[in-house]
Amino acid sequence: MTDFNQFKHPTREKEEYTDFSNVEKMKDFLTSEEFPEGPFGSPIEKDEPVENKNTPWEKGQRFYTPFNYENKTLHEDLPRHIEPAHQPNDDPNRETEPPYGGDSK
């Protein structure tokens, strides 16, 4: 019989592997269902309330929403002046940002 332990790499047993960052984020950000109550006009469970999630919430999980600023790192901790408003740019001294308006100041 062949002893397969002789073929093991000595340092590989000590290495710890993790998922890629996009896999980790996929676990944190949930996508809303288009029709969580089923097809339009379906009599199945028509008297039951719609549930958003059927598993327990984990730390850091949230739904994607179209009403958030897309890249939150560009906020630079600027406060909102009006409750639903977001800053269109980061730098108040620049009119446009590349690639949409060049690098003009």
Write down the domain spans for the chain. 18-64, 70-104
CB-count exposure of residue 86 (10 Å: 0-12, 13-18, 19+): middle
Beta-carbon contacts of 57 under 8 Å, excluding residues fewer than 6 positions away, are none
For tokens 């059927």, the residue is 54
State the Cα angle at 65 between 21 and 39, rounded to 5°. 110
pLDDT number for residue 104: 46
pLDDT number for residue 90: 54
The model scores a pTM over 0.85: no
- The residue count of the chain comes to 105
Are 27 and 61 spatial neighbours (Cβ–Cβ below 8 Å)? Answer: yes
**37 pLDDT band (50/70/90 cuts)?**
confident
Per-residue pLDDT tens over the stretch 48-92: 776 777 788 888 888 877 766 666 666 666 666 666 565 555 566
